[in-house]
Amino acid sequence: MTASATVSASAATLDVDVLVVGGGIAGLQSALEAAEQGRKVLVVERQPSIGGRMINLSKVFPTLDCASCITTPRMASAAHHPNITIRTYSELGPIRREGPRFTSTLRQKARYVDEAACIGCKRCEEACPVFVPDEYEHALGARKAIRIPFTNAIPQTAVLDMDHCTLCGLCAKACPTDCIDFLQEDAEIPVTAGAVILATGHELTSMAAKPEYGRAALPNVISPMQAERLLAPHGAYGRVLRPSDGKIPDSIAYVQCAGSRDASLGVPYCSRVCCMYAVKQAMLLSGSLPVADITIYYMDIRAFGKGYEQFVASARAMGINFVKAKVARIREDADHNPIVRIERQEAGGTVEEVRHDLVVLSLGMLPGADPEREGFAGVLRDADGFVRTPEAKLSPTLTDEPGIFVAGTAAGPKDIVDSIQDAGGAAMEALRHLRSNGLEGRP
C-alpha cells in the first residue's frame, strides 16, 4: 500500500478543442471524427470504462453482429488516438460560457488505485474476499469489491468500491506494483473547450414502473439488459438459465411497451428500439434453445429502419409467436413461474392467463442526463426530458446553446446506426463552429 499516490486536487487545466461528455458509441464516434481532423478532444465518462450501453449487449440488430466486436475496436482507437484524452470515472460540473470558449471542472473520482502503476493483472480481484452484485451483469452475477470492471474494459485499471470494502488489505498484499492507495482522493481538474458535444446517452425505465408487472420482485421477470447478459457468450451464466433456480427455460415471453407509450408513467413516447431488441433477443434465444416456445406480446411492432421489416419477417419464419395482446398483470406461482394475464386484441378479445418460465419486460428509454439540472450552459431539455434540438429537421445535432451539440440517445431514443450518424454530424458541426469562430488550436 502506498500513501503517496493521492491524486492532486489542483491538476493543470485540460485545454481542448472539443469536449465530449459521455463515452458510449456516440461519444466515441464524435471524438474519433473530430480527432481525425486534427482537433484535440477530451472524452469524459462517468463509468470506470468507456463503451456505454453497447459494450453490454450480446449481438446487434439487424445484422446480428457481435456487439463487443464492433465496440471494442472503436474504444481502443479512441484510447490510442494521439489527439484524444479520455477521463473515466469522472463527472463534469456545470459548463459555462466564458467569452468564445466553454469552461467546466472535471471531478475524477478516486479509484483507490494508482492508474499509472496498475497493470490490470487482477491479482487484487482474486485476493479480495468481498462479493457484491455485478452492475455489468445487471446483478445476475457477483463481482469483488476491487475489480477490473469487465474483460475488455478501457482502461484496464482496477477500481475499488469503498462502499463495500472492509479494508482487510488483502488486495494491497497481492498487488505486484504496490499501487493500491486507500487514501486516494477525488481530483478536480479545470477544463476549457472551444466546442462541446453532449453524448450522455440514455437510461432504462424502471422494472417497477408498472406495479401490475410485479414491482421488480419476481425473480423470473427480468430486464432486457439481463436478457442481453444471458445471451452474451461471456455473460454471467455463460448460457440461458432462469435466475430463480438455474432451469433452462422452455417458454419465454416478451412484454412490449413495458415502460413506453404510457403518459401515466411520464413516458408518452415510443422508445423506438424495444420492438427490435425484443425481436433480436427472441431470435437469439430461439437459436440457443431450439425447442423453447418464444412469444412476443405486442400492441404494434415498430420496425422503422433499413432491413428491419425483413428482420421481423425472419423472426416470424423462425417460429417466434407474435401475439397482439395487452398484458394486464404478471404474477407468479409457487415455483416462481410467471403467469401473464393477457387481453387479446384479436381473436375475439379473450382474456387468458398464460404460464411461462421466463418473462422479459421491454423497458423504454429515459434521458441519461438532464441538461438543465447539470447546468450545461444554455442547453434546454425537451418535453420528454432529452436534450432539446430546436432545428431537429434541418440540423438535428444543434442545441439551444451555440457551440454545444448533441449526439446519439442524449437527444432521444435511437438505435446504433442513427446514433453513429448523429455522432458524425455533431463532430462536423463542432468543427464548423471552431472554424467560423476562430477557435482552432488552443490558447
Ligand X SMILES: Cc1cc2nc3c(=O)[nH]c(=O)nc-3n(C[C@H](O)[C@H](O)[C@H](O)COP(=O)(O)OP(=O)(O)OC[C@H]3O[C@@H](n4cnc5c(N)ncnc54)[C@H](O)[C@@H]3O)c2cc1C
Judged by the rule CB under 6 A, the positions of this chain that interact with ligand X are 21-27, 44-47, 52-54, 57, 60-61, 91-92, 199-202, 204, 224-225, 228, 273, 277, 280, 368-369, 374, 408-410, 414-417, 419
CA-closest candidate to residue 15, choices 107, 102, 109: 102
State the DSSP string of 311-332: HHHHHHHTT-EEEEEEEEEEEE
Site for ligand SF4 in 128-147 (CB under 6 A): 128, 130, 145-146
User: What is the C-alpha separation between 24 and 200, in angstroms, rounded?
Assistant: 8
CA-closest candidate to residue 294, choices 279, 306, 305, 311: 279
Q: Which does 119 bind (CB under 5 to 8 A by kind): ligand X, ligand SF4, none?
A: ligand SF4
C-alpha cell at 75: 474504444
C-alpha cell at 143: 463481482
Q: Which does 350 bind (CB under 5 to 8 A by kind): ligand SF4, ligand X, none?
A: none
Site for ligand SF4 in 291-350 (CB under 6 A): none
Task: Name residues whose C-beta falls within 8 Å of residue 165's C-beta, 6 or more positions apart in sequence.
Answer: 112, 130, 145, 146
Q: Which does 201 bind (CB under 5 to 8 A by kind): ligand SF4, ligand X, none?
A: ligand X
Site for ligand SF4 in 88-107 (CB under 6 A): none
Site for ligand SF4 in 175-234 (CB under 6 A): 175, 177, 179-180
Select 157 or 419, whichever has its Cβ closest to ligand X.
Answer: 419
Candidate segments 28-36, 119-127, 276-284, 294-302, binder of ligand SF4 by CB under 6 A = 119-127
Q: How far is the CB of 135 from ligand X (least distance, A)?
A: 11
Q: Which does 53 bind (CB under 5 to 8 A by kind): ligand SF4, ligand X, none?
A: ligand X
Q: Does residue 248 touch ligand SF4 according to CB under 6 A?
A: no
Radius of gyration of the chain (CA): 23
Candidate segments 18-26, 80-88, 174-182, 199-207, binder of ligand SF4 by CB under 6 A = 174-182
Q: Which does 257 bind (CB under 5 to 8 A by kind): ligand SF4, ligand X, none?
A: none
**Sign of the Cα pseudo-torsion (117, 119, 121, 122, in order):** positive
Q: How far is the CB of 89 from ligand SF4 (least distance, A)?
A: 14
Q: Does residue 168 touch ligand SF4 according to CB under 6 A?
A: yes
Q: Is 250 helix (H, G, I), strand (E, B) or coil?
A: coil
C-alpha cell at 263: 403518459
Q: Is 278 helix (H, G, I), strand (E, B) or coil?
A: helix
User: What is the C-alpha separation between 55 and 75, in angstroms, rounded?
Assistant: 10
Provide the 8-state DSSP code for 12: P
Amino acid (one-letter) located at 322: F
Select 174 or 270, whichever has its Cβ closest to ligand SF4.
Answer: 174
Q: Does residue 124 touch ligand SF4 according to CB under 6 A?
A: yes
Q: How far is the CB of 180 from ligand SF4 (least distance, A)?
A: 5
Output the CA torsion 25→135→283→51 (10° steps): 10
Select 180 or 210, whichever has its Cβ closest to ligand X.
Answer: 210
User: What is the C-alpha separation between 258 and 418, in angstroms, rounded?
Assistant: 23
Spatial contact of 322 and 301, defined as CB atoms under 8 Å apart: yes
Q: How far is the CB of 81 from ligand SF4 (least distance, A)?
A: 24
Give the position of cell 452484485.
133
Q: Does residue 152 touch ligand SF4 according to CB under 6 A?
A: no
The residues that touch ligand SF4, with contacts defined as CB under 6 A, are 113, 118-124, 127-128, 130, 145-146, 158, 160, 165-171, 174-175, 177, 179-180
